[in-house]
Structure 1
Amino acid sequence: MRTRYRFERRTLLTGGIGLALAAVPGARVPLAQSLDKVSFQTNWRAQAEHGGYYQAVAAGIYRRHGIECEIRMGGPQQNPSQLLLAGRVDFIMSNGFQALNYARENLPFLTIGAIMQKDPQVLMTHAGNGINSFEDMKGRPILIGASGRVTYWPFLKAKFGFTDEQIRPYTFNVGPFMADRMAIQQGFISSEPFAAQQAGATPRVFLIADAGYQNYQTTIDASRRIVTEKKDLVQRFVNATIEGWTAYMKGEDVGAANGAIKRDNPEMDDAKIAYAVRVMKEAGIVQSGDALQLGIGAMTDARWKSFYEGMRDVGLYPAGLDPARAYSLEFVNKRVGLT
């Protein structure tokens, strides 16, 4: 299985594979009502980690909100941020670092929702080898990709005393991991551990978010122009997306959504999808923290401030940056999907 590390690839994505998902017949939209067309660019090929968007299309949720949503699947030659900056898409899937980049570079874009309350980034090693905590990893070689060195790695250095001398190149496959029982490598909780299991290993997984790493992941980003000029459309898109994610995480009639994921990305199968959904639920990737009280997609000023200050303190962002310029809380925290 080809290992995928979405944050790493997120820095490489350019271009576009346009894939429009057909709406399900019977969606409750008045015949006389025209649908607002929007495009949403994902950060990688279709997978369970995008399931809520596929669910919102497949179950007709976007249509019930008066929207025809075109999901444009990401890939190795695409950069969602560049597509957004060029005005080629309406919304993109991104992350907290990109939001702070908007503020730092004074760009007219911002984050309007955060689907993943926890960044799925993990370090993993082999069970039973004596490495039982992040503290036990200090001084040991760790397989890390290029973008990890400027995102979560500075956090780990500050938190646990890691040093750059520990870094070894990550080749985005589990071969080196399988060859060394003392190996430690990066991954996403929903992907690399599954690949290691399929190869015969028993991985032990350490979620960096649980150590205090506060990056929002799988965010929804948009231009300030659409947020200002089309508030109603943006609100309907956000609400429908949240409803799609609520249904997908509950496992309510997700067969059509999963079928669309598998059609768009033949590397996906039922086992991979089921594993990803299960570990996302167990780890609280989507539904934890503020989302439990405010609904999926929740964000808060306090967390954005804390995330910025933490990344400032490790040298990734300058002092004096106003993190409030990176996001808007206008469209989330409305308890959509909570009953």
Structure 2
Amino acid sequence: MKKRTLTSLVAVIITVLLIVTGCGSAPATQSVSTDTKSSGKLDKVTLQLKWLPQSQFMGYYVAKSKGYYKDEGIDLEILPGGSDIIPEQQVYNGVANIGVTWVSSLMKYQSQGWGLTEVGQIFQKSAMLLVSKASSGINTPADLKGKKVGSWFGGNEYEIYALLEANKLKKDSDLKLVQQDYTMNQLLKGEIDAASAMTYNEYGLLLESGLKDSDLHVVNMNDAGVAMLEDCLFVNSSWAAKNPDLLVRFLRASIKGWQEAAANPEAAGKIVFDADQSVSLEHQVYMAKEVAKLVVPKGFDPAKIGYIDTAAIKQTGDLALKYGLLTKPAVISEDTITSKYWEKATSK
């Protein structure tokens, strides 16, 4: 009798201890696991950027600086990109878990059978411009006939191709397309008549050179109806299937960072500058202000940052096919583009 009472008492004590310590009580799929909270251990996530650290990616730097990833149980490492780094390869090969790339580029690798999935669309508008000096006499795209036009190529030329065809210009005979470097010196020196420029970077370099808006003529790809979507978030499909909760937590922290960055781009630019002083603080702040206009365009709800607009995705795919980036129509399905993780990350 005494032995049974002692055994029962031990069982009660063990049960209480299990409840207090939470052993076996929290499933691995909740927002931040009990084990992570109690041990302080964070889940490692690596993000591969498309380019060098700059305000183009400010939302991730803000989220990291403010501790939003840690709040979600994540230890985030941000890998800089460069001309010799292909985000799709980095993610597909497991060097990075999540990547930033342009939608058209992602579609190219998806069409080759790479198991990559877009999970969030950060830029809602194209940042691509074609810029000329007002003195050049280029007032409309039709005026490009007989001119030298700069392009970075390497996947950046397809909006220009679409612009030319929309204005009944043949890219191989009506004008001369010229390899453009990543400065705006060719335009400034008169070596080319029109240059490619991103709203958040190269256009600012022209203004910093002393030119005014009134000194320039700008063709905006969105206004011309030939825009292709740019910065998106993508993952290896198999990694996402194994880590759905981790991906949702990453998106939730990232969206919070982007919301704060878009609301206060001056502060966001300073955070990026402190992280990597590759360009001036003034230029990082300029970039941040312009990037905010792409992430949260006029009339767009900041709560929907990362929203995937299927119609804009389709336009990008159609243009990519028409002008030779793709050899077959882009497959737009749950396997290639999905909002399910974004929807969980943004649900109340």
Partner of residue 283, structure 2: 272
Asked whether the 8 Å contact 1:150–1:316 carries over to 2, the reply is: no
Tell which structure's C-alpha radius of gyration is larger. Answer: 2
Trace 1:238-317 onto structure 2 (pairs within 5 A): 238-251=251-264, 255=267, 258-281=269-292, 284-288=293-297, 292=301, 295-317=304-326
Distance in 1 between residues matched to 2:329 and 2:202, nearest whole Å = 37
CA shift, 1:73, in A, is 1.4
Q: Which amino acid is 2:287 matched to?
A: A
Map Cα deviations across residues 5-58 of structure 1 (whole Å, 9 max, x no partner).
Answer: xxxxxxxxxxxxxxxxxxxxxxxx945342211000111111111110000000
5 Å-filtered alignment, 1:86-125, equals 86-125=93-132
* Alignment equivalent of 2:224, drawn from 186, 194, 211: 211
1:81 touches 1:92 (CA, 8 Å); kept in 2? yes
In structure 2, the partner of 1:153 is 160
Tell whether the 8 Å contact from 2:116 to 2:235 is kept in structure 1 after alignment. yes
What aligned pairs does 1:190-205 form with structure 2 within 5 A after superposition? 190-202=200-212, 203-205=216-218
Q: 1:77 aligns with which of 81, 84, 91?
A: 84
Q: Distance in 2 between matches of 1:333 and 1:140?
A: 47
The whole-number CA distance in structure 1 between the counterparts of 2:134 and 2:285 is: 22
Q: Helix, strand or coil for the counterpart of 2:341?
A: coil
Q: How does 1:13-162 map to 2 (within 5 A)?
A: 30=37, 32-147=39-154, 150-162=157-169
Q: Which residue of 2 aligns with 1:171?
A: 181
TM-score, structure 2 normalization: 0.78
Aligned 8 A contact 2:252 2:345 in 1? no
Q: TM-score, normalised by structure 1?
A: 0.80
Equivalent position amino acid for 2:235 in 1: A
Aligned length: 306
Residues 275 and 265 of structure 1: is their aligned pair in 2 closer, same or farther, counting only changes over 3 Å?
same
Q: CA RMSD in A?
A: 2.8
In the TM superposition, what whole-angstrom CA distance separates every residue of 1:191-236 from its partner, at most 9, and x where no partner exists? Answer: 1122122222233333223322342222111011121111111111
- Take 1:214 and 1:175, find their aligned partners in 2: how far apart are those partners? 25
Q: Residue type matched to 1:270 in 2?
A: L
- Identity across aligned pairs (percent)? 20
Superposed displacement of residue 181, structure 1: 9.5
One-letter amino acid of the counterpart of residue 185, structure 1 = A
SS at match of 2:104: helix
Higher helix proportion = 2
